[in-house]
Structure 1
């Protein structure tokens, strides 16, 4: 049995990532896949890169990682994201940068397609509607794919002869993926935006073709305090307890 824990959008939140890694260990997943944005809004970029480097079998690069690498112009980001990226560039170690530099925004040689954002645009597209999902499924090379980027735990599916449908997914939702085409978003580890402040992740079984959505409690106050101590924008700390 191949059980894979899928995580995304860690955003330098060491407190959340450590809690998720403990939860993943408890369910004895065979591998860990990261869909990108290891760094970003949070105060612990090096710690998060080190943990992903140690534990992840597969790791993608996200748009915030690309910004810190210098591959995307910062004026394409919101003011808070731009300030966080500038701070991260100043703080991150060369070793962490070297790791980020070798990552790509998609990986197509696993049992499922893996994209930071979407199959149509692996860096920037937010897949949030059935219409977007329909267009993405049209170009999929795999029957099942995982995407991140939106910070929202959700899934879209399309059966034979039917349009794509989708919805947000709460903790402990279990999906049978044995038929149809699927786009799965595990949600965000470090900065969820679906109203649930707990760290989000997905357990995917590629033998039985099932998926289970998980949420893990973590030290939100500690993560917020670290952001404030680093003198990052206060809004990045304020949103954590609200999952927004």
Structure 2
């Protein structure tokens, strides 16, 4: 079983469509998104509709939450497109976290960290002991995070994984890795790929 992982699309419809096409070609069984559907990019409505129509579950990122807090018709203060009422309704229905089972593994998806959609999971702030604590506390085999726009992978001593697929957005309005990830649940292997051509690239493991 293969799980495709995307995050931080930020209204970049072209990048989302390209990442999705690569994942489908790679034969993933399911795709999940770690949030920030909107913000920065010009096409929040097209991105939201794409995720909804293809049944790709997503958590609510901080930019999604901010769009809801601004309300209908309010412009994005980060220069992105203004979400329609329909898109705001979609964002309002996104959960703060997702938990599901696939291939006999329990996967939990959040945006920032299990504690906050604004918390950056970084090497300095989240050493192995902290990540191991997350995996143990929420009783999952795989924890998926986003928010940093930087790909990462960590494997704990018990085999649990923490993965950040990086950011899908490719528009030059924000720092981004322009990447997505594939998790082979049977092999317990994570690969990161470039949005532009789907090619894999190395990500130094934590720990």
Which TM-score bucket, shorter chain as reference? 0.7 to 0.9
Check the 8 A contact 1:157/1:180 in 2, yes or no: yes
4+ aligned runs moved over 4 Å, structure 1: none
Shift of 1:139: 3.0
**2:147 is matched with which residue: 136, 143, 149?**
149
CA distance in 2, matches of 1:209, 1:43: 36
- Residues 138-217 of structure 1: pairs in structure 2 closer than 5 A: 138-140=133-135, 141-159=139-157, 180-191=159-170, 193=175, 196=177, 199-217=178-196
Aligned pairs, number = 183
Which residue does 1:77 correspond to in 2? none
Aligned to 1:42: 41
Of the two, which has the highest radius of gyration? Answer: 1
Q: Are 1:116 and 2:111 matched, yes or no?
A: yes
1:92 matched residue in structure 2: 83
Maintained 8 Å contact 1:6/1:204: yes
**Residue 125 of structure 1: aligned partner:** 119
Measured in 2, the distance between the counterparts of 1:61 and 1:17 equals 17
Conserved 8 A contact 1:32-1:55: no
TM-score scaled to structure 2, two decimals? Answer: 0.79
* 1:168-206: CA deviation from partner (whole Å, max 9, x where unpaired): xxxxxxxxxxx5232110000015736x5xx31011122
Residues 145 and 183 of structure 1 are in contact (CA less than 8 Å); yes or no, is this contact kept in structure 2? yes
**2:8 maps to which residue?**
9
Check the 8 A contact 1:9/1:151 in 2, yes or no.
yes
RMSD over equivalenced CA pairs, Å: 2.4
Consecutive unaligned residues in structure 1, runs of 5 or more: 73-80, 160-178, 219-244
Q: What SS does structure 1 have at the residue aligned with 2:37?
A: coil
Checking the alignment, whether the CA contact within 8 Å between 1:119 and 1:136 is kept in structure 2 is: no
The alignment status of 1:137 with 2:137, answered yes or no, reads no
Aligned-residue offset at 1:6:
0.5
